[in-house]
Structure 1
Amino acid sequence: MATVLFTWELGLGLGHLVQIRTACLPLIERGHRVVVAACHLANAQQVFAGYPVEIVRAPRVAMPRKRLLQVATYAHLLHNIGFGDGPTLLAATTSWRQLILSVCPDAIVFDHSPTALLASTGLGMKRAIIGNGFCQPPQDRPLPVLRPWRQWELATAPQDEARLLGHMNDALHRFNVPPLSSMAEIYRGFDQSILTTIELLDPFAPRTGKPDYLGVFTIGDAPPPQWPAGPGKRVFGYLKPFPALPVLLEALAKSHLPALFFCPTVDEAFRARYHTAQMQLLHQPVDILRACSECDFVIGSGTHATALHALEAGKPALHIPLVLEPVLVSYAVEQAGAGLMAAPDNTNELVDQFNRLITDPSLEAGAKRFLQPAECHQERLARLSRQVLSLVE
């Protein structure tokens, strides 16, 4: 029996845990020990309820005293999650290294865990990285620019990266590990690189070589959607709260379209105000594969999983991204003609984009270009299983 540690350091929602659960199932079936270090314990306990998995708390990400407001490069992103402050990075790296050594894994699978990646340097066990393209930047020197359609002032980028590399090497020196020559080295040397996306949503495509895109995975045991009765095309939404959400829901109510919205973080007063027989606001997830298959339009926050499920169901989507990664996803969908994006605080734009979503046939045609047959999911699961099992068998 081998021990495999899965790490999840950054991100929100259930998407990271869903793909970890999917990846660990072949290991569980073969009798291997699985440990999951998760940054959100409550969500992990929900997703892994009933599974023989050990769940531990991932070391917390301590934000640096000075955060960058303009995140232009991947190095800037790492700066803002602790790499920009030497003592902060050393503390986090030490915590991760202690956790890894206490678990004593034969292999580690990293899901959006840059500090854990750094901490594992030089330990010698097999390693894999899993996640969408945003979580697996190319090994460029310097690390890549984010949102390349914008004009950035990058004159200090090499110095910024050199400073962060110094913090990383100071931490490794404490563990008697040789220094890295670049920040990108923590994203090199994996036994498996598991890309859970498609090329369209990979912000760093095209990549060198022949990347094996596995698409996205989902919880298969969520209940099926129960659609409101009534005529009209169906709308499925998975949304986090944002300033103009009431305006969006009012526009949807005026459209008289039957709608299901999974809004897990809105309070009961908000839910009671907008929940009607025609537009239902849910606090528990439904089977997103079925929801996207049975609906006509999707509205989301630009999260990778929701966007990709909508694409592969051939359904146009309106995305309202709140942070950087969903902005990249939403932009890619819009540029492909398969959906639209809107700012979360621009009420006029949001209403206009919603009305266009439900009336513009070109968006439906654009989304249908990405429609995937249901059987492709099983083929992807088989490929994932082979990649994960190769770490220990």
Structure 2
Amino acid sequence: MARILIAWELGGGFGHILRYKTLITHLLDQGHRVCFAARDLASVRQVLAEQRLTLVQAPISLRNSGPVAEPIENYAYILHNTGFNDPCGLSARLQAWQFIYNSVQPDLVIFDHCPTGLLAARHYSFATLQCGNGFTTPPEISPFPALRESAAGPKALLKFEQRVLANANEALKACGADRLDRLQDLLRTDRTLLLTLEALDRYGDRERGEYIGPVFADHHGKPVNWSVGRQPRVFGYLKNTKSLPTLVATMKNQPAKTVIYAPEVGQKDKDRFGGGGIRFIDTPASLPASIRDCRFVINNGNLGTVLMALLTGVPLLLLPDTLEQYLNARCVEKLGAALIAGKQSDPGTISNHVQRLLEDDSYMKQARRFASEHRDFEPGQPTLCLIEAVDGLLQTRS
């Protein structure tokens, strides 16, 4: 019997949990013990309510101890803004992770967007596996690659990286641990699995890391009940962002049937926005079945939804709300399979994008080309790769 710890520190959403659901079932069926150190315990309990696993709160930064570094230029800025700007707080969280490791005594730790946990794990002998979507697992080159096309040059990036490294080493010294030579060294694990496709990896061209593809959530929802008619179909899976009212107003003026799943939108707003070809649904729909015959999909740029649409051969209108979503959107835009409406987009821009997606077949052609190039992708294969990686690492420790 082995002990496996899943460590999740940064980021939000069920994706950080759902990707491990089948793996956890497999491990428990094998008689192993699983502990989940989670950023959001309530969400883990909600998703994994029937699983016999131990839960513990992941040490996370709860205070802002200095100015936020903006704009975010590369991964060092992400570290800085999530607690690596405060050596005192960082050392406390390192000690908390050490306590978890000493208490759980894991044979294997799976890291999911967990830089502080990785930093604390450097002097332990357990096996290590890092899982991420590309954005959370940058290449181990110095300085970290730029995330923005207008980012500062390499010298400026390296200078900032050295500041973050100094903070990390000060925290390590306070814990009695050896210093890091490079900030990139905290990302070194026995194996790194990239839960994306290379075409959607903002970094690309890596020396380390294995592309296994996205682990899609279980789609137990029902397909959308599209009413009979020849009007083009549009499906939206959206957050309640500032651009939503403008988008809805635009779609009402189009000869299309639009169904939107927006769980953060209240019923009053749904009643106000609905009608005129717009229909809101209250429960998740089976995405693959619902979008198969759509003209395009509207989304904020979540990697899972974006990849599902592309693998189905459907283009997208993307309204990114975060840097990660914007980077995903830019990758799809470069493929010619999407248009982007940013946070500050005016009604005219959104209307123009909608018209182009409805009338210009080139976006559909590029999306179908992507689907054809990846026609061998099997949705269940990434989970099998994850299970095989975990089993393999456990065997090396037995």
Normalization by structure 1: what TM-score? 0.92
Aligned to 1:141: 142
Q: Residue 303 of structure 2 corresponds to which residue in structure 1?
A: 304
Q: In structure 2, how many angstroms separate the alpha carbons of the residues matched to 1:144 and 1:217?
A: 25
Letter in 2 for 1:388: V
Q: 1:355 to 1:264 in 2, by over 3 A?
A: same
1:312-333 per-residue CA deviation (whole Å, 9 max, x = no partner) reads 1111011111111111110010
Bigger shift: residues 325-334 or 92-101: 92-101
Alignment-derived partner of residue 274 in structure 1: 273
2:83 partner letter: G
Deviation of the 1:356 alpha carbon: 1.5
Rate the CA distance shift 1:274–1:100 in 2: closer, same or farther, 3 A: farther
2:250/2:350 contact within 8 Å kept:
no
CA distance in 1, matches of 2:56, 2:271: 36
Deviation of 1:283 after TM superposition, in Å, equals 4.0
Which shifted more, 307-316 or 17-26? 17-26
Q: Which residue of 1 aligns with 2:384?
A: 382
Q: CA deviation at 1:30?
A: 1.7
Unpaired runs of 5+ residues, structure 2, are none
Query: What do the CA deviations read for 1:341-388 (whole angstroms, capped 9, x no partner)?
Result: 111231222222122222210000000112144862233332222112
Deviation, 1:154, is 5.5
Distance 1:279-1:23 versus aligned 2 partners, 3 A rule: farther
CA distance in 1, matches of 2:382, 2:156: 42
Q: 1:355 to 1:38 in 2, by over 3 A?
A: farther
Q: Which residue of 2 aligns with 1:325?
A: 324
Query: What whole-Å deviation, never above 9, does each CA across 1:51-104 have from its counterpart, x for those lacking one?
Result: 223333222333332101211121111111111121222222222222333222
Matches within 5 A, 1:160-309: 160-188=160-188, 190-208=189-207, 211-231=209-229, 232-276=231-275, 278-309=277-308
Contact 1:9 1:39 in 2 (8 A): yes
* Secondary structure of the structure 1 residue equivalent to 2:389: helix
Once residues 163 and 223 of structure 1 are traced to their aligned partners in structure 2, the CA distance between those partners, rounded to angstroms, is 48
Query: Is the partner of 2:110 in helix, strand or coil?
Result: strand
Which AA in structure 2 matches 1:361?
D
1:338-353 aligned at under 5 Å gives the runs 338-347=337-346, 348-353=348-353
Larger mean CA deviation between 318-327 and 365-374 belongs to 365-374
Query: What is the Cα deviation at residue 253 of structure 1?
Result: 2.2
Q: How many residues align?
A: 390
User: Bigger shift: 290-299 or 78-87?
Assistant: 290-299
Moved more, 317-326 or 53-62: 53-62
Cα shift at 1:300: 0.7
Counterparts of 1:77-116 in structure 2, within 5 Å, are 77-116=78-117
- Give unpaired runs (5+ residues) of structure 1: none
Calculate the TM-score normalised by the size of structure 2. Answer: 0.91
Q: Deviations over 1:124-162 (max 9, x none)?
A: 211100011111111112222112x22535643333222
Given the superposition, is the C-alpha separation of residues 294 and 18 from structure 1 closer, same or farther in structure 2, using an over 3 Å criterion? Answer: farther
Counterpart-to-counterpart distance in 2, 1:8 and 1:333: 27
CA RMSD of aligned residues (A): 2.1
* 1:190-235 Cα deviation digits (max 9, x unpaired): 22211100111111101126x5312112222521223241422222
Question: CA separation in 2, counterparts of 1:276 and 1:51?
Answer: 42
- Structure-2 change in CA distance of 1:271 and 1:61 (3 Å): farther
Letter in 2 for 1:43: S
